[in-house]
Amino acid sequence: MKVLQDRSLAPFHTFGLDVKAKQIVMVETDAELVSVWLDDSYRDWPKLIIGQGSNLLFCEDFDGLVIVNRIRGISITETDEAYCLHVGAGEDWHGLVEMTVHADMPGLENMALIPGCVGSSPIQNIGAYGVELKDRCQYVDTVVLATGEHRRLMADECQFGYRDSVFKHALQQTHAITAVGLRLAKEWHPNISYGPLAQFDADSVTAAEIMATVCAVRMEKLPDPKRWGNAGSFFKNPVVPAALAEELAGQFPSMPAYPAGSGCSKLAAGWLIDQCGLKGHQIGGARVHDNQALVLVNYQGASSADLLALAKYVVESVERRFGVTLEHEVRFMGRQAETSLAEVYNERS
């Protein structure tokens, strides 16, 4: 366990904003995490556990304790049917993907270059190019923060949904993720149903080719957080009633829309934002990325207020033109607890 003297959160979230915490502690074991959480010194403080902060926007300074999860370790067992991986929550996600592909254990290649730690992957149910974490997850190991009790949730207990899970709701304040169990089937069936992957032949493509293509596309379209701070896709792709999607398609024939079950359709948030002419739109130091409208970037020393104002402007612009309300995928953290764009502006009005 390491108590950091510098209270700046800039190195611990990919937006790189100039915000501070009351205290920052780095932990490397389950026991350290529980010990810090239950430490009397921090009893009445707001607390936040983070990995790489790759899906987090600090709306202001955090008036509490930030615990940086660096629980590492990867162990592999196998059955006749699958490779079973037990991965520490503090491991880098993309590093894990590279390791599995190079070790001829395919299954994660579609999710290459998604930023963040392994422990964050079930919270968001991360996904890309037709594959989601839930498709490979066997279990999630947690600790009950109030007691230090270890609890394993099998995949069907995690309530995985589109960028959603039980860890964003019922268990958000009570459990911390310490490890993730993944099952990679030895009988590999490549998923090449999306975009640039459709060029491949399912009978001959390799996982390494898929990973390389995904990485190339992501690097071309998405900004490097080391150059321009960002959290990847800022907004969720909205799910709307199929009737509304059909009505919009009549007005905008080129609009992408995909079946989403239960009489609903999923629209492409990036396309909606782009049609509002917002690529390159800037407020203060915050900017809609020039190549990918779904990404907001810390372009020139942005403040939290700049990013909040830009996010609000994007939401209002899409709502005016299409009658669709975008929801942010990025988690918003207020001074003492998680918040939302709507709550931030309600508090300020």
Q: How far apart are the C-alpha atoms of 349 and 335, rounded to whole Å?
A: 17
Is 218 in the active site? Answer: no
Is 163 in the active site? Answer: yes
Strands 286-288 and 282-283: antiparallel
The one catalytic residue among 54, 120, 233, 265:
233
Q: Helix, strand, coil proportions of the chain in percent (round to 5)?
A: 30, 30, 40
**Using CA atoms in the order 265, 271, 277, 279, what is the torsion angle rounded to 10 degrees?**
140
User: Which CA distances in Å does 232 have to 86, 113, 296?
Assistant: 26, 11, 8
The one catalytic residue among 163, 218, 287, 331:
163
Is 320 in the active site? Answer: no
The one catalytic residue among 60, 91, 132, 329:
329
C-beta of residue 109 within 8 angstroms of C-beta of residue 211:
yes
Three-class DSSP category at 322: helix
C-beta of residue 93 within 8 angstroms of C-beta of residue 116:
yes
Q: How far apart are the C-alpha atoms of 156 and 135, rounded to whole Å?
A: 11
The C-alpha R_g of the chain, in whole angstroms, comes to 20
Mind telling me the catalytic residues? Answer: 163, 233, 329
